[in-house]
A and B are shown apart, each in its own frame.
Chain A
Amino acid sequence: MVRVDGKGSGALVEIRSLDKKYRRGGEEIDVLRGLNLDVDTGEFIAFMGPSGSGKTTLLNLIGGLDNPSSGMVRIAGDEISKLSGRKLAAWRARHIGFIFQMYNLIPVLTAFQNVQLPLLLTSLSKAERRKHVEAALDLVGLTDRMHHYPRQLSGGQEQRVAIARAIVADPSILLCDEPTGDLDRAAGDEILDIISRLSKEFKKTIFLVTHDPVAAKRAGTLLHLDKGTLLECTADGQFACKPEDSGK
């Protein structure tokens, strides 16, 4: 279930009265205003909206990369806005997988080593790490490229490595910030297929930020962000309801 009216309870992701302000050139900008969101485990949500509407900011707040100006973000029972930097880093490693538009792989590491990075923060043995990395690379169909460096891979392959890196530690939530934004349609579709599979087969909770309506259609729920406020959309892209009476 996904709600944007702030009336849900016990969801995997609970966001209440979330405000985010930025100060730029002496001027205060309200990016997010009193935002509410409840998301249950296994949901696949797409955020759309014009540039500057706060999509990436919302993703960063859910992922604990940024702190809200006010309000609350509670994920799996942890109020992450109150965690210290060290605890938040450990929490991210355990719960969140990130997929970026520009892949952000480490160029001096092979695909295998890039995917292995999150596991280096765990207590897994070398053999266990290898097993996890091979499984993740197998899931994205890149076992034959595991010893290649990012410069030896295509954009689509790089993004698949990035997905493997995001899922290798088996996080419950995947945050995807325009994962197909730098790819052609065919490569983009491959990436979306993998993300859809992660949602359906592996019950990952996925938040996808995109400008692409085709990509957004893969999601079970499409939310529109405009002027810092969330609106739920129908399948044809129309706003179905006001935030205060939304529920699914």
Chain B
Amino acid sequence: MKFLHLVFLNLRRKRTRTALTLGSFLVSLFLFGILMTIKTALGSGVDVAGADRLVVRNRVSLIQPLPFAYRDRILQVPHVREATFASWFGGYYQNMKNFFPNFAIDVERYRLVYPEYKFSDEEWRAFVEDREGCVISPPLAKKFGWKIGDRIPLEATIWGGTWEFNVRAIYETDRKELTSPELWFHYDYLDERRAFYKGLVGWYIVKIDDPANAVEAAAAIDDRFANSPWESKTETEKAFAAGFANQIGNIRLLILSIGSVVFFTLLLVTGNTMASAVRERTGELAVLKTIGMNDATVLFLVMAESIVVAVIGGGAGLALAKLFTLRGDPTGGMLPNFYLAGRSLGLGFVLALAAGAAAGILPALGAMRLKIVDALRRV
């Protein structure tokens, strides 16, 4: 540790070079942070998916509906404990920039299938009793300053016209990934007022007795509706959410590819910087060895320099990414869970450290193996 000040002094020798190397770490880790945030946002459905829940949708596509009558038939399938449904509404508040997910739900059973959303009994009762009532999430309430009792007009993109809702409940949950801006309202209200698709729902959510029976239950549900005009496709909620996220491409592969390229470029940039730094200081390293510094300490000095750059640059990049994500979803509702998770921050930090160490190792080994006599001859 006595030599740590030498590490910082060395970094100040070529300030432009150090600044550029720091900048490359900063930009790379900022990019990493944003990519991880997008990945988290797109995959948040996967993370919150219940292991004991199945999603039943139209075999043709998610856009195609299923009959309302399927609910009771699904409830008769072995291993099924509960079944509810929801339909996409697609409304926005005042203008399209204020778009957020909103669904018509099965008021009777939705709460039974999703116990992770908490309500006071009083609020829930008020919601159930008001046909035009709605439930909103805390982020939505915060975003528009809505509170219980407010009347909200939404423009319907699919069904047309302005629909008005009364805020009757704001749910609570301990899980951050569940708190995206969203609104639920009565399916009956939707079905009564819309001009088409009457008696149809978007998808079913089924609670089963044991996750181990998921395959059997899914097959049984699909068999039940085989060869009907509304054939179904049943899968676990996790698989459904992953499939939904993958509709815009293989995010994981995309992020992995970009991350690998960035990481490799960082290695080259930092490795080159450290190699140049060691080459310029060959004589000084020889002097340090001459006065009694051992090889391990020389190795440490060069490695520390590389790692310090990585930690400062990478840390700054991650901090900027965190600041950026604190502003919330920049897409106006496409990425509701837009936040940089602590796990992603940790991973980014570890990656920066690894890049710093990997970039420094070869120059450090070169410095360690430096023969004093040869190095002094070059001074």
Q: Chain A: which residue is nearest B373 at the CB level? A: A66
CB distance from B371 to the nearest CB of A (A): 8
User: CA of A108 to CA of B301 in the docked complex: distance in angstroms?
Assistant: 15
- Measured between beta carbons, the chain B residues less than 8 angstroms from A109 are 6, 9
Q: Is the C-beta of B115 less than 8 angstroms from some C-beta in chain A?
A: no
| B283/A121 in contact, CB under 8 A | no
Q: Is the C-beta of B291 less than 8 angstroms from some C-beta in chain A?
A: yes
Q: Chain B: which residue is nearest A162 at the CB level? A: B287
Q: Chain A: which residue is nearest B9 at the CB level? A: A108
- Measured between beta carbons, the chain A residues less than 8 angstroms from B295 are 85-86, 89
Q: Give which listed residue, A65, A89, A104, contacts B293 with CB less than 8 A.
A: A89
The segment from A38-46, A92-100, A220-228, A237-245 that touches chain B is: A92-100
Q: Is the C-beta of B176 less than 8 angstroms from some C-beta in chain A?
A: no
User: CA of A118 to CA of B293 in the docked complex: distance in angstroms?
Assistant: 8
| A89/B289 in contact, CB under 8 A | yes
Q: Chain B: which residue is nearest A91 at the CB level? A: B292
User: CA of A84 to CA of B379 in the docked complex: distance in angstroms?
Assistant: 26
User: CA of A82 to CA of B88 in the docked complex: distance in angstroms?
Assistant: 82
Q: Chain A: which residue is nearest B2 at the CB level? A: A120
Assess A121 versus B293: contact at CB under 8 Å? Given A106-B284, A106-B287, A108-B9.
Answer: yes
- Measured between beta carbons, the chain A residues less than 8 angstroms from B284 are 104, 106
| A104/B287 in contact, CB under 8 A | yes
| A90/B287 in contact, CB under 8 A | no
The total number of A-B Cβ pairs within 8 Å is: 60
- Measured between beta carbons, the chain B residues less than 8 angstroms from A117 are 288, 291
Q: Give which listed residue, A63, A102, A120, contacts B379 with CB less than 8 A.
A: A102
| A108/B290 in contact, CB under 8 A | no
Q: Mark B347-379, 1 if CB is under 8 A from A, else 0.
A: 000000000000000000000000011001001
Q: Is the C-beta of B272 less than 8 angstroms from some C-beta in chain A?
A: no
- Measured between beta carbons, the chain B residues less than 8 angstroms from A65 are 290, 372-373, 376
Q: Is the C-beta of B109 less than 8 angstroms from some C-beta in chain A?
A: no
| B291/A121 in contact, CB under 8 A | yes
| B373/A104 in contact, CB under 8 A | no
| A89/B292 in contact, CB under 8 A | yes
Interface size class of A (residues with CB under 8 A): 20 to 34
Q: Is the C-beta of B173 less than 8 angstroms from some C-beta in chain A?
A: no
Assess A165 versus B294: contact at CB under 8 Å? Given A65-B372, A108-B12.
Answer: no
Q: Mark B292-333, 1 if CB is under 8 A from A, else 0.
A: 111110000000000000000000000000000000000000
Q: Is the C-beta of B18 less than 8 angstroms from some C-beta in chain A?
A: no
Dominant secondary structure of chain A at its interface with chain B: helix
CB distance from A153 to the nearest CB of B (A): 17
User: CA of A124 to CA of B6 in the docked complex: distance in angstroms?
Assistant: 18
- Measured between beta carbons, the chain B residues less than 8 angstroms from A60 are 372-373
Interface size class of B (residues with CB under 8 A): 20 to 34
Q: Give which listed residue, B283, B291, B373, contacts A118 with CB less than 8 A.
A: B291
User: CA of A61 to CA of B342 in the docked complex: distance in angstroms?
Assistant: 56
Q: Mark A101-120, 1 if CB is under 8 A from B, else 0.
A: 01010111100000001101
| B3/A120 in contact, CB under 8 A | yes
CB distance from B209 to the nearest CB of A (A): 66
Which residues 66-82 in A have Cβ within 8 Å of B in the complex?
A: 66
- Measured between beta carbons, the chain B residues less than 8 angstroms from A108 are 6, 9-10, 12-13
Q: Chain A: which residue is nearest B379 at the CB level? A: A102
User: CA of A85 to CA of B297 in the docked complex: distance in angstroms?
Assistant: 12
Assess A86 versus B294: contact at CB under 8 Å? Given A108-B10, A108-B13.
Answer: yes
- Measured between beta carbons, the chain B residues less than 8 angstroms from A100 are 287, 376, 379
| A118/B294 in contact, CB under 8 A | no
- Measured between beta carbons, the chain A residues less than 8 angstroms from B373 are 60, 65-66
Q: Chain A: which residue is nearest B371 at the CB level? A: A66
| B294/A85 in contact, CB under 8 A | yes
Q: Chain B: which residue is nearest A92 at the CB level? A: B292
User: CA of A230 to CA of B287 in the docked complex: distance in angstroms?
Assistant: 28
- Measured between beta carbons, the chain A residues less than 8 angstroms from B292 are 89-90, 92-94, 118, 121
Q: Give which listed residue, B2, B290, B379, contacts A98 with CB less than 8 A.
A: B290
User: CA of A63 to CA of B283 in the docked complex: distance in angstroms?
Assistant: 17
CB distance from B61 to the nearest CB of A (A): 66
User: CA of A121 to CA of B52 in the docked complex: distance in angstroms?
Assistant: 63
Q: Chain A: which residue is nearest B295 at the CB level? A: A85
User: CA of A143 to CA of B12 in the docked complex: distance in angstroms?
Assistant: 26
CB distance from A176 to the nearest CB of B (A): 13
User: CA of A102 to CA of B378 in the docked complex: distance in angstroms?
Assistant: 11
- Measured between beta carbons, the chain B residues less than 8 angstroms from A86 are 294-296
Assess A104 versus B283: contact at CB under 8 Å? Given A60-B373, A92-B290, A165-B291.
Answer: yes
User: CA of A45 to CA of B184 in the docked complex: distance in angstroms?
Assistant: 95
Q: List 10 A-B contacts (CB under 8 A).
A: A66-B372, A85-B295, A86-B296, A98-B291, A104-B376, A106-B284, A108-B6, A108-B10, A108-B13, A165-B291
Pairs of residues from A and B, 5 with the lowest C-beta to C-beta distance, nearest first: A93-B292, A89-B294, A108-B9, A120-B2, A104-B287
Q: A65-B376, A102-B379 are in contact. List 8 more A-B contacts (CB 8 A).
A: A65-B372, A66-B373, A86-B295, A89-B294, A93-B291, A98-B291, A104-B376, A108-B6
